[in-house]
A and B are shown apart, each in its own frame.
Chain A
Amino acid sequence: MTDVTTHEFDVPAPEVIRVAHVSKRFTVRKDSSLKERVVTLGRAGRQHRQDFWGLSDVSLGISAGTTIGLIGHNGSGKSTLLKVLGGIIQPTEGSVTQRGRVAALLELGAGFHPDLTGRENVYLNGSVLGLSTEEVDAQFPAILDFSGVGDFIDTQVKFYSSGMYVRLAFAIAVHTDPDILLVDEVLAVGDEQFQEKCLAKIREFQTEGRTIIIVSHALDQIKSLCDRVVVMDKGKLVYDGIPVTAIERFRKLLADNAVGQARPDQISRALEIRSVEIRDHRREGPAQLRAGEEVILQVDVEMLRPIERWAIGFSVDSSLGQIALASNTDLLDVVLDPLDSSRTIAISFTTDGLAPGRYSVNVNASGISEPTSHGLMNAAEFEIAGDVRSVGPVATDVRIA
């Protein structure tokens, strides 16, 4: 484990958080009413449960005064880790020990009661974050000033704009004098001016030797704020070290998971779509197509198990996610040869009628003689060139007399 500290302190920093071999198992139940639970009691009930590990064997030591970024794609376990650090979720295995006052900025303002005024919520939220009434009294002017809520402080928070709501919540959290601040994706709130204020506050916190743990997708923010970055992938800690290297590592992970990757939830199938490539009529991979040109989808189908009868289908989605075009061997009355070896299928269609813009292609193959299927979402993309003069996937001549 590398320990990088860019902020120089004249005293050795004590450890504030120690995460030792923490794993977290989530159980997803498909039955949550009493009736369903009773019906599926016992052995059968177990089939209605699905376990997955949100965190597996994560170990981490954090010393005071560091600012740590947690990055990873959605579902990688970074928010779960943050919640475990905040004591909100209990780990299934392993232990988390910590010292000092923690303030968590997860889902800002979630603890607000809409019917209470801003002032009442400040006191309530302050006490939830561990402040006594006298401490809130002392901090109140600073909180009010920082939030910029002004006279609205005595209005019920249900009448607040979402920006005011979040600003007030942030103001409370940063005025609780936390030793450890947990921040989840909340720095992207409010207007630019308020964001500046938040960042300035965080920098101030850094100089005061507070420990900050940030989960964010904003990599440039992570890069500029953090001393150390932890990269999470599928619940595992895959990198822990300086920001530049961590971000590089994360980008690589993203690229591995991006276009053309099979989704991991498809299991035990007879066939698999390896890749989809776009060709124009010259059999070249074009950057852009003109409306009316022919598009050929070259679908690489891998045989995992020979299959007698099977079908293939595709759809073309506009950038708004609407289906612009879809078809399959069934609709086209095409019978494919038995799949006894991996092969490439070419699907061609003309693009007249498609409006200019970006399109993504989804391809799905499925067995007819036995139930199996595999699909590739966003397997490839193409763009139709031209001026955009209308909205929607259909290109027609629009005139106004």
Chain B
Amino acid sequence: MTEATPSAAGARFARIAALPMRSIGAIGKGSTGGFFGPFREIADHREMLSLLVKRDLKARYKDSALGFLWVLARPLMQLAIYFVVLGHFLGAARGIPDFAIYVFAGLTAMGLFQEILVGGTGSILANAGLVKKVYVPREVFPLASTGAALFNFGVQLVVLVVATVAIGKPPLHAGLIYFLPALALIVVFGLALALLCGAINVYLRDTQYLVDVITMLLFWASPVVYAWQMVKQLVNIPWLIELYTNNPLTLAVLGFQRAFWVAGDAVEWPGDLMLRMLVALVVGLILLFVSHRVFLRLQGNFAQEL
């Protein structure tokens, strides 16, 4: 057809011929890339991941006048309600100094977990167009909603720190070391459950509603708006308290309070909090690994189920 044809085509052919034949798609029954294959693939798509995170954030507040300020609207309103109603009407604040900081630390932790889980559960369905159109490692969708959740979390965290400074008690104390393991706990458990629920949700649409209900239960099962010490006083069964305390979310919430609620340095905390958190983190990583495997198994039929 054209003069330039043979060289252009020839170069392409030579390049293609040098490539190895690879199995298409994710790991199926055959083993492509082995154990690390899926991880390498996700790493290869990190640029897309960051674009997806940006898209999630941009699209959410695109047409609103206040834009990203809305990120703060919900947690601040929650804070106001819990502070006024629970703290002062119902008297929870009486036993807890700096109740507002206390509640906001817990809300920030819990909000991150809820956003990762709820967003991740719906993420495959929300991206049905992409899932059906091209092959990309599907883990990027729950990961992208985790990224968006982390951004919102960052904004809230700034507000939290500013608030602690405003009341004259910046979190410059030993307790701050609890922040990182607490954050890791939330991300690991949130992501593990998001992968699992996101994949199941493709097959069973009830999952997203179930997740909504369960996150509400989890919210009240952790000492966000009441104190862990109150639970300890009321419940006299030691194993029940242990069970309650070792809930990874409870540990994470406690970690956040330990880190940012300076007034809490004087109160009683569960023993070996750091050790408990590290054990929970190991359990969480195992759970994350297992749910990723389940995700890979289930994703083979995503395109046809959507």
Contacts and interface: CB of A to CB of B under 8 A. Distances in A.
Contact of B19 (A32, A86, A100, A112): A100
Nearest to B127: A111
Contact of A207 (B9, B21, B52): B9
A209 B132 contact: no
Nearest to B48: A127
Interface stretch (B55-63, B86-94, B186-194, B219-227): B55-63
A90 B206 CA distance: 25
B63 A115 contact: yes
A88 B130 contact: no
Contact of A33 (B8, B59, B206): B206
A207 B2 contact: yes
B97 interface: no
B28 interface: yes
B135 A86 contact: yes
A7 interface: yes
B13 A124 contact: no
A112 B127 CA distance: 10
B51 A99 contact: no
A12 B13 CA distance: 8
Interface residues of B, number: 51
Contacts of A89: 301, 303-304
Nearest to B128: A110
A83 B303 contact: yes
Interface residues of A, number: 59
A63 to B, nearest CB: 9
A306 interface: no
A228 interface: no
B285 interface: no
B33 interface: no
B204 interface: yes
Interface string B183-209: 000000000000000000001111100
A112 B24 contact: no
Nearest to A179: B16
Contacts of A223: none
Given A100-B19, A115-B62, A65 B9 contact: yes
Contacts of B12: 64, 179, 208-210
A113 interface: yes
A21 to B, nearest CB: 13
Nearest to B60: A115
B251 interface: no
Interface in B1-51: 1-2, 4-6, 8-10, 12-14, 16-17, 19-26, 28, 30, 45, 47-48, 51
Contacts of B67: none
Contacts of B133: 88, 104, 106-107, 110-111
Contacts, number: 156
B216 interface: no
Contacts of A11: 6, 9-10, 13-14
Given A64-B13, A64-B16, A90 B47 contact: no
B44 to A, nearest CB: 9
A191 interface: no
Instruction: Say what secondary structure dominates the interface of chain A.
Output: loop
Instruction: Say what secondary structure dominates the interface of chain B.
Output: helix
Interface in A66-109: 83-91, 95-100, 102, 104, 106-107
Interface string A243-264: 0000000000000000000000
A39 B129 CA distance: 31
Interface string A200-221: 0001001111100000000000
A338 B126 CA distance: 58
Contacts of A116: 55, 58-59, 62
A139 to B, nearest CB: 15
Nearest to A83: B303
Contacts of B129: 107, 110-112
B61 to A, nearest CB: 10
A10 interface: yes
A42 interface: no
B134 interface: yes
B8 A207 contact: yes
A90 B14 contact: no
Interface string A23-43: 000100000111101000000
Contacts of B52: 124
Given A33-B204, A106-B133, A99 B20 contact: yes
Given A112-B129, A128-B136, A129-B134, A14 B204 contact: no
B95 interface: no
A315 to B, nearest CB: 35
Contacts of A18: 21
A10 B10 CA distance: 7
Contacts of B25: 87-88, 90, 96
B132 A107 contact: yes
A203 B5 CA distance: 12
Contacts of B19: 99-100
Nearest to A12: B13
Contacts of B20: 99
A179 to B, nearest CB: 6
B125 to A, nearest CB: 13
Contacts of B154: none
A4 interface: no
22 contacts: A7-B9, A9-B10, A9-B13, A10-B6, A10-B10, A11-B9, A34-B210, A86-B135, A87-B25, A87-B135, A90-B26, A96-B25, A100-B16, A104-B134, A110-B130, A110-B133, A115-B59, A116-B59, A133-B51, A208-B8, A209-B9, A209-B13
Given A86-B135, A128-B130, 4 more contacts: A33-B206, A85-B24, A100-B19, A209-B8
Interface of A: 7, 9-16, 18, 26, 32-35, 37, 64-65, 83-91, 95-100, 102, 104, 106-107, 110-113, 115-116, 120, 123-124, 127-129, 132-133, 156, 179, 203, 206-210
